[in-house]
A = this chain, B = another copy of it.
Amino acid sequence: MNISILGGGGFLGRKVAAKLAETGTIGGTKIDSLSLFDLAAPPGLAAPFPVTCIGGDIAELPVAAIPPGTDVVFHLAAVVSAAAEADYDLGRRVNLRGTDAVIDACRGLIAAGAARPPRVVFTSSIASFSGGQGKFLDDDARQVPANSYGTQKAAAEMLLADATRRGFMDAVCLRLPTIIVRPGRPNKAASSFFSAIVREPLLGLETELPVPDDFAVWVASPRRATEWLIHAAAMDTAPLGLDRSLNPPGMSVKVGDILAALDIVRQGATGLVKRVPDPVIAGIVGGWPAGFNAERAPRHGFSRHEPLIDVIRAFVADDLAATRADRGMA
């Protein structure tokens, strides 16, 4: 199997690449090669198969990013929520033109005689929904986005489903929950604080909480999201029919639940969390639904979520030391 990861330098891209390197297989089949593509060429990684690292603009996708013989494309490249809100043209270019470029690359594989359409695993987002704190949405809920990022993700889902129907690819779109706990530094996602309120105190740093403690959010851990993405790469897609989008089974938790779990893992850590209401951030994340009745994805083999305490312990085990090192902390 030949795999490409677009957005291979990003947080989830690196997690998926590391898991593939660890197992050497996908869906029980040996991996023959991995291409990692991002704006700047991602760093390589030790793996039991050759790894090629490519940098470039996804809207003018280099052939090497999805080379002839590619079986699976993880399309994770995106301009995130606050950034797409700040720069409309950039969001459109990366999130929509980039998706068109992925479609065209897959069409190229078919035209060149690929035995079957490549599997494309796309990360959509709960930011493509609205409704706010009062809403718990069913699997067939309409996407009525309240931000440009969510709009571009929802539109891209439609384009990928159509490309699948036409035989250009075999797409699975996962509307990922807010991922906690993200390593590294705060980023331009409006949801960045959901990770910061755990990560920063564990680094001994103060951080700001812009929403009330009873704010509900639909979350998933990096471990669970990585597992879902790899499952989507190998699952049987025939039963999906025209509808290639799934709401994987995250967890609806309150900010206060996250803080309570943090205090169990590291007593007193939440003393570093300062309540500083931010109406701009609250306005964006407050438009997302509180949760989903995610029944379809588990029927297609997507695993249920582990508890919050496990999520925080996994961050300590998997990412805390690397985050500390990345940020030049002792």
Do B92 and A144 touch across chains, with their CB atoms under 8 A apart?
Answer: no
A125 in the interface (beta carbon within 8 A): no
Chain A 161-183: CB-based contact to B (< 8 A → 1; otherwise 0)? 11001100000000000000000
User: What is the interface of chain A, defined by CB distance below 8 A to chain B?
Assistant: 88, 92, 100, 130, 140-148, 151, 154-155, 158-159, 161-162, 165-166, 242-243
- Residues of chain B contacted by A140 (CB below 8 angstroms): 142
Do A159 and B166 touch across chains, with their CB atoms under 8 A apart?
Answer: no
In Å, the complex CA distance between A141 and B243 comes to 13
Can you list 15 residue pairs at the A/B interface with Cβ under 8 Å? A88-B166, A92-B100, A130-B242, A140-B142, A142-B143, A144-B243, A145-B161, A145-B242, A147-B162, A151-B158, A151-B161, A151-B162, A154-B158, A155-B159, A158-B158
Do B146 and A165 touch across chains, with their CB atoms under 8 A apart?
Answer: yes
Given contacts A92-B100, A158-B155, A161-B151, whether A142 and B144 have CB atoms under 8 Å apart is no
Given contacts A158-B154, A158-B155, whether A166 and B148 have CB atoms under 8 Å apart is yes
Q: How many copies does the complex hold?
A: 2
Given contacts A151-B159, A151-B161, A155-B159, whether A142 and B141 have CB atoms under 8 Å apart is yes
User: Chain B nearest CB: distance from A264 CB in Å?
Assistant: 39
- Residues of chain B contacted by A155 (CB below 8 angstroms): 155, 158-159
User: Chain B nearest CB: distance from A2 CB in Å?
Assistant: 25
In the complex, residue of chain B having the shortest beta-carbon distance to the beta carbon of A245: B144
User: Chain B nearest CB: distance from A80 CB in Å?
Assistant: 16
In the complex, residue of chain B having the shortest beta-carbon distance to the beta carbon of A146: B242
In the complex, residue of chain B having the shortest beta-carbon distance to the beta carbon of A92: B100
In the complex, residue of chain B having the shortest beta-carbon distance to the beta carbon of A141: B142
Most chain B CB within a 10 A radius of its CB, from A88, A155, A159:
A155
- Residues of chain B contacted by A146 (CB below 8 angstroms): 165, 242
Do A242 and B144 touch across chains, with their CB atoms under 8 A apart?
Answer: yes
In the complex, residue of chain B having the shortest beta-carbon distance to the beta carbon of A168: B88
A158 touches which one: B100, B145, B165 (CB < 8 A)? Answer: B145
- Residues of chain B contacted by A141 (CB below 8 angstroms): 142
In Å, the complex CA distance between A194 and B146 comes to 38
In the complex, residue of chain B having the shortest beta-carbon distance to the beta carbon of A244: B144
In the complex, residue of chain B having the shortest beta-carbon distance to the beta carbon of A155: B155
Most chain B CB within a 10 A radius of its CB, from A145, A151, A158, A165:
A158
In the complex, residue of chain B having the shortest beta-carbon distance to the beta carbon of A243: B144
User: Chain B nearest CB: distance from A148 CB in Å?
Assistant: 5
In Å, the complex CA distance between A92 and B145 comes to 22
In the complex, residue of chain B having the shortest beta-carbon distance to the beta carbon of A157: B155
User: Chain B nearest CB: distance from A134 CB in Å?
Assistant: 15
- Residues of chain B contacted by A130 (CB below 8 angstroms): 242
In Å, the complex CA distance between A142 and B147 comes to 19
- Residues of chain B contacted by A165 (CB below 8 angstroms): 146
In Å, the complex CA distance between A185 and B317 comes to 69
User: Chain B nearest CB: distance from A253 CB in Å?
Assistant: 25
